[in-house]
Amino acid sequence: MKKIYQKNFLLSLLTSITVLLGGEIYFFYFYYSLMGPHSCFLLILSLVVFILLFSFLNYRFKKSREIFEMLETINSPVLILNKELRIIKYNKKAEEELNLKEYFCRKREIFFSPLSFDIFDEKGNRFGEDFVPRDGIIKIKATEKDVYFEIRCKEIENEKGEIKNYVITLLNITDLIKTSERIENSYRILETTQSLTKNIYFADSFKELSGIFLKEIKRIEDLIKADIYLNKGDAFVGIQEKEIYDEKNLNFINKLLKREIFIEEDLPVKKEFSEFEDKLLKRNVFSYFCVPFFTYDSLDGFILCGFEKTGKIDENFIKSMEEIANTFSLWNEKISLFQETQEYLKNLKMITEMVSKFSQITDVEETYRYAIKKSKEISNADWTVIFLIDKDENKLIATSILGVPENIVEKYRVISMNTVTGKAVMQKNTIFVEDYEKDPYAIKDDFLPKHLKSMIAIPIRDEKNNVIGAMDLIYTKNKKISEREREVYNAIGHQIGIAIQNAKLYEELKKYTTQLEKMVKDRTQKIEKLNKELEGYIYSVSHDLRTPLMAIEGYSHILLTRFGENLTGESRDYIKHINNAAKRTANLIKDLLKYSKLGKTELKIENVNLKDVLHYVLANFKVEIEKENVKIEYPENFPILKSNFELLTQIFQNLISNSIKFRKKNESLLVKIYYKFDPGKIKIYFKDNGIGIEPEYLPKIFNIFTQINKRYEGTGIGLAIVKKAVEILNGKITVNSTPGKGTIFCLEFNYL
């Protein structure tokens, strides 16, 4: 960033000089001729200062603009402060959330400190003038509005290590804090009310709670009627006297619905009475008031207090009843929340059981049956139907139906997308219809709308959240659901979708597995047949080849031994070449047979002492070792390896043979055999001082028929046999060589 600013400054300076220089040259000419050299020097100096100042200001402007543009890309309020906490830069989000525009209109400068804002810590303590920004949670009072922020502060230091600026990032957590405060406030009011009404505090049910209230309230003088009326949906029923009134007989119900207290201080002077008030007058109730209590937004009922005299009712008593009503509201909310939580936990447990069961089901039809049965059990629905989407016809096809009467089952087999169920599919969300008959998406039918009262349509979503169908939960009586129940139903739909998807995948996988097993079996049989044919072919070819080769070798040998003296030198050489070629071809066939037989027989794994393998191999090379004066060094003790004796013998024999074959003619051969341990591995090294291998041959050294030096006899199969044998033993072989100095082969095997 610093390099960019330096570049901008140089560009600004160059631009300024270029713009001003052209215009000033002409002016200097005339000024010099009129004023003299001294005055001209002062003018030049002033112009240089002007150019530098102009360039600096232009640079600062560009730098500020770049910082401002960068700040605007951040979606959270960001402030840049100087060390005096004066706000020098901010983005639009900060201006909106902190009302900075209004502050700047009222003050010349604004500080991010208690000097300008009322800033409080998380516990509500106001900061003093020694406020220093730091990470944490703060509350800012800006324009009669409390805003809570989680603050992140970054200190920017200058070259001396002193704080030059603060970069403040603010995350608005007002809604979170306010919600927390509201919850705390609700519990505080509940605790206060319970402490004021000791007897009520120990109530275990609303019936007991209301009984304690009605018992205690009778002690109040002049109070001749007190009752609690509960909302039963279609009527209000008194707890004490079991009186029943519908809403049209309660002239004050609209006021109660607005959460207002209804007060009637002189009932006899009224000209018209409702049935409710007429009964009150017959009981000598001449004044009364009603206090509503709610559970969330639903009117649960009201408290009635009636007096035998008219006149102003004591405001403190009304307030006390209002507190009691609040206690009822809080109690009902608490009970409702408790019951809702219990139901939610019960449903979660059932969903967990459902998921566990789904993991054991692999049949699609069984998945449908279990899903619909469990969903009906959780929701207490009267009818339950599961649909899958038919994308070709844009319809919903029922795959499982439970509880639907037989005379209308066929109506539910196929439904269009222009239904409540289709709407849930399109919106990818659970839809609740409280009054099905009035819903515009209800199925147009003479029977269904009259018998269906409420309905829940749940989208069925797969693992990738794609909607693959829907489930209807249908009720023949009016039903209400909470937001938490909606979440439960969404979860059920999602789990059913995943279960259906998994069951289908399992069936497809089972089908593919069967096909694959058959293909593998068929191919294995073909390969085994081909291998047997190949083995027979190799044996036949090798036998057919070896017979004439033996004849060629035998006859050429007879010619050399019996008739050699009668042959010319050139004839003897030809016959020798024929004899050697026959031997090499016989060896080649022999090695090819060895190579082809590797891995064909059952591998016997046992404890093998590597020293025994080495002694066995060296015994085979005893004559060659003594004849060529070969020195072989190896440790006194070798570890025991779980492996195969025959394959290890072939590996050791070919590696030692390779070293003897590619030795230097004028230097004694030294072969060192040693081993090292790595975690879980053993590495066995064969190091010689032979002719070495050219780098270009190293990548293909283990390929069959590869001969690295044509001057040396060989079939080019020995190292290929070594590699194949090592791989059969789950090992690895590597080579490292320097031409003229020697070669190192490394065998690596598992060692436990």
DSSP code per residue over 319-387: HHHHHHHHHHHHHHHHHHHHHHHHHHHHHHHHHHHHHHHHTT---HHHHHHHHHHHHHHHHT-SEEEEE
Model confidence over 500-525: pLDDT tens digits?
888 888 888 888 888 888 888 888 78
pTM, 2 dp: 0.40
- Closest CA relative to residue 415, chosen from 382, 446, 457, 443: 443
Place of tokens 């090292």: 676
Q: 315-340: b or e for each residue (b if 16 or more CB lie within 10 Å)?
A: eeeeebbbbbbbbbbbbbbeeeeeee
What is the chain's percent helix, strand, coil content, to nearest 5?
A: 50, 20, 25
Antiparallel, parallel or unpaired: β 136-141 and 118-120: antiparallel
In angstroms, the CA 289 to CA 263 distance is 4
Mean pLDDT by 10 residues, the chain (752 residues): 42 52 50 51 63 60 59 76 78 76 56 65 64 72 66 80 81 75 50 50 67 68 77 80 78 85 88 83 89 84 86 77 80 73 78 83 87 87 90 84 82 85 89 84 65 86 89 86 81 88 86 86 78 60 61 69 72 70 62 60 82 88 85 90 87 88 86 92 93 85 68 68 86 91 93 79
Strands 223-231 and 236-238: antiparallel
DSSP string, 187-240: HHHHHHHHHH-HHHHT-SSHHHHHHHHHHHHTTSTTEEEEEEEEE-SS-EEESS
- Residue 569: how many other CB atoms lie within 10 Å: 6
Q: Tell me the one-letter amino acid at 565.
A: E
Pairing of strands 87-90, 78-82: antiparallel
Residue 363: CB atoms within 10 Å: 12
Distances from the Cα of 226 to the Cα of 239, 257, 291, 431, 551, angstroms: 10, 20, 12, 42, 131
Residue with tokens 């070792």: 625
d(CA 615, CA 610): 9
Identify the residue whose tokens are 């072919």: 537
CA-CA distance, 224 to 280, in Å (whole number)? Answer: 10
Judge whether 63 and 8 are in contact, CB under 8 Å.
yes
Looking at residue 634, its pLDDT comes to 92
**Residue 325's closest CA among 163, 217, 404, 248?**
217
* Dist. CA 11–CA 635, nearest whole Å: 76
d(CA 179, CA 433): 29
Name every residue whose Cβ is closer than 8 Å to that of residue 4 and which is 6 or more positions away in sequence.
Answer: 66
For the chain, give the number of residues.
752
pLDDT of residue 164: 80
Query: 604, 635 in Cβ contact below 8 A?
Result: no
- 8 Å CB contact between 403 and 384: yes
Cα torsion for 290, 294, 299, 301, to the nearest 10°? -50
Radius of gyration of the chain (CA): 49
